[in-house]
């Protein structure tokens, strides 16, 4: 799907214009009149979820061109003029589309006939263009910060202006999606980005993702773009449900996941090796606080409670030197795949340090990244 939406950056401005009359055949018409380009030919691509297909080409004569395209359902297209001027548009059978553009003046010069949906897309382009212009201005100001006396204050001001611009445009795009009036416009809005940064994240914005899924299926249930979106929606929904189930399984009072680790001191170990005693599983890496003071504090807090120190770290040689010097109090294991290792995934470790306190019945007492919280839980378990 992302092959489609990569064209929705500033350079690929969306232009849609339609006549009020419709053709009943499974065909749509596109005619264009352009200025500000020396191109002699225009190419028309259909942007499908997983590929771009060259549909047709047309000669540009006296600044004009036209297409007659067979089409069964609504889809997304790309006009490519001289590889530098690119225009996205949406069409369905029966449409007669017409646009004018002067590429010397950009989006402000584009003209299309009255249409609420088309006007909304044009406004989306204009706002995105302003976002790029603002970002460019702030970027130039940021480069000059090195010469500023009040560096921190100016940096904060620039960051605040960027975040405000980003949040305001995101809020405007959100209104488009949640209105459910134009699902295809909402689809474009959801995948819009400024540079490499998208305004929405599939997982973090799953509530908005769900609204878009609903509106697409209500108005375009058989559409190829809807079907592709549905597959992505289902995969994401299942992934979120799995994460929720995992989080619930790691709540205090639940059985500790069965683990198997190869350690520096004891070889292979599992839960069974600690039956009948409290123990700590400590996840860390080289970015964690490995100062002697921190580790001495951890050893003091644990007292005689065994600590399994699991390093989520690909650098084995550095790990070996560190545990030989600072981690003598622990049973040490290393997971070279770090946060993608089976154990890290099993215990849902997203950052370090992280502690699990396990009781004598092999049940989770606490899960925390705070050593003071661990201290309090240990005190209560004694």
Measured in whole angstroms, how far is the alpha carbon of residue 336 from the centre of its chain?
Answer: 26
The whole-number pLDDT of residue 382 equals 64
Angle at 214 between CA 209 and CA 215, to 5 degrees: 100
3-class state of residue 322 by DSSP: helix
Distance, CA of 32 to CA of 57 (rounded, Å): 13
3-class state of residue 344 by DSSP: helix
The DSSP annotation for 231-262 comes to: HHHHHHHHHHHHHHHHHHHTSTTSBPPP-EEE
| Residue 216 and residue 224 in contact, taking contact as beta carbons nearer than 8 Å | no
Phi, psi of 43 (to 5 degrees): -115, 140
Strand 267-270 with 354-358, pairing: unpaired
Distance, CA of 375 to CA of 382 (rounded, Å): 11
Strand 267-270 with 260-263, pairing: antiparallel
Distance, CA of 187 to CA of 149 (rounded, Å): 45
- Domains along the chain with CATH numbers: 2-112 (2.60.40.1120), 125-242 (no CATH), 260-381 (3.40.30.10)
* Span 219-263, pLDDT tens digits: 999 999 999 999 999 999 999 999 999 999 999 999 999 999 999
Give me the sheet containing 75-81, strands edge to edge: 12-14, 85-91, 75-81, 41-47, 52-59
Distance, CA of 228 to CA of 241 (rounded, Å): 20
* Nearest alpha carbon to residue 373 among 351, 350, 356: 356
The whole-number pLDDT of residue 133 equals 93
Distance, CA of 348 to CA of 282 (rounded, Å): 13
| Residue 333 and residue 261 in contact, taking contact as beta carbons nearer than 8 Å | yes
Distance, CA of 56 to CA of 94 (rounded, Å): 18
The DSSP annotation for 159-172 comes to: HHHHHHHHHHHHHH
* Nearest alpha carbon to residue 285 among 325, 314, 321: 314
The whole-number pLDDT of residue 81 equals 85
Phi, psi of 317 (to 5 degrees): -65, -40
Distance, CA of 123 to CA of 346 (rounded, Å): 46
DSSP alpha helix (H) spans, 145-223 = 151-179, 183-190, 206-219
- Between the CA of residue 289 and those of 13, 313, 328, 377, what are the distances in Å? 48, 14, 16, 21
DSSP alpha helix (H) spans, the chain = 2-5, 116-143, 151-179, 183-190, 206-219, 224-249, 292-302, 316-326, 342-346, 371-381
| Residue 187 and residue 214 in contact, taking contact as beta carbons nearer than 8 Å | no
Angle at 76 between CA 71 and CA 78, to 5 degrees: 105
Cis bond before residue 353 (omega within 30° of 0):
yes
Q: Write out residues in the chain with pLDDT < 50, as ranges.
A: 1-2, 4-24
Phi, psi of 40 (to 5 degrees): -105, -15
């Amino acid at each position: 799907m992302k092959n489609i939406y990569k064209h929705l950056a500033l350079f690929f401005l969306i232009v849609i214009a339609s006549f009020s009359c419709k053709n009943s055949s499974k065909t749509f018409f596109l005619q264009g009149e352009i200025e500000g380009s020396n191109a002699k030919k225009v190419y028309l691509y259909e942007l499908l979820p997983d590929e771009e297909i060259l549909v047709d080409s047309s000669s540009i004569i006296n600044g004009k061109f036209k297409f007659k395209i067979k089409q069964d359902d609504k889809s997304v297209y790309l006009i490519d003029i001289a590889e530098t001027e690119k225009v996205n548009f949406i069409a369905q059978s029966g449409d007669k589309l017409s646009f004018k553009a002067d590429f010397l003046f950009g989006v402000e010069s584009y003209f299309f006939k009255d249409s609420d949906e088309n006007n909304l897309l044009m406004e989306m382009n204009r706002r995105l263009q302003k976002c790029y212009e603002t970002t460019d201005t702030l970027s130039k100001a940021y480069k000059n910060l090195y010469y500023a006396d009040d560096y921190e204050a100016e940096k904060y001001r620039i960051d605040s202006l960027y975040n405000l611009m980003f949040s305001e445009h995101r809020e405007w795009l959100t209104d488009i999606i949640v209105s459910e009036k134009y699902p295809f416009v909402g689809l474009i809005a959801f995948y819009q980005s400024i540079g490499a940064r998208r305004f929405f994240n599939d997982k973090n914005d799953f509530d908005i993702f769900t609204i878009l899924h609903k509106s697409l299926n209500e108005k375009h249930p058989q559409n190829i773009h809807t079907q592709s979106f549905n597959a992505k929606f289902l995969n994401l929904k299942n992934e979120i449900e799995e994460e929720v189930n995992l989080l619930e399984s790691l709540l205090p009072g639940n059985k500790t996941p069965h683990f198997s680790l190869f350690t520096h001191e004891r070889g292979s170990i599992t839960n069974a090796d600690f039956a009948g005693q409290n123990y700590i599983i400590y996840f860390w890496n080289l970015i964690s606080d490995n100062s002697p003071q921190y580790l001495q504090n951890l050893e003091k807090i644990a007292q005689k409670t065994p600590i399994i120190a699991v390093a989520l770290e690909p650098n084995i040689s550095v790990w070996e030197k560190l545990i030989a010097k600072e981690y003598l109090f622990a049973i040490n294991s290393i997971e070279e795949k770090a946060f993608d290792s089976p154990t890290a995934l099993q215990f849902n470790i997203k950052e370090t340090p992280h502690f699990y306190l396990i009781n004598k019945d092999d049940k989770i007492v606490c899960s925390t990244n705070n050593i003071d919280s661990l201290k309090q839980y240990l005190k209560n378990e004694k």
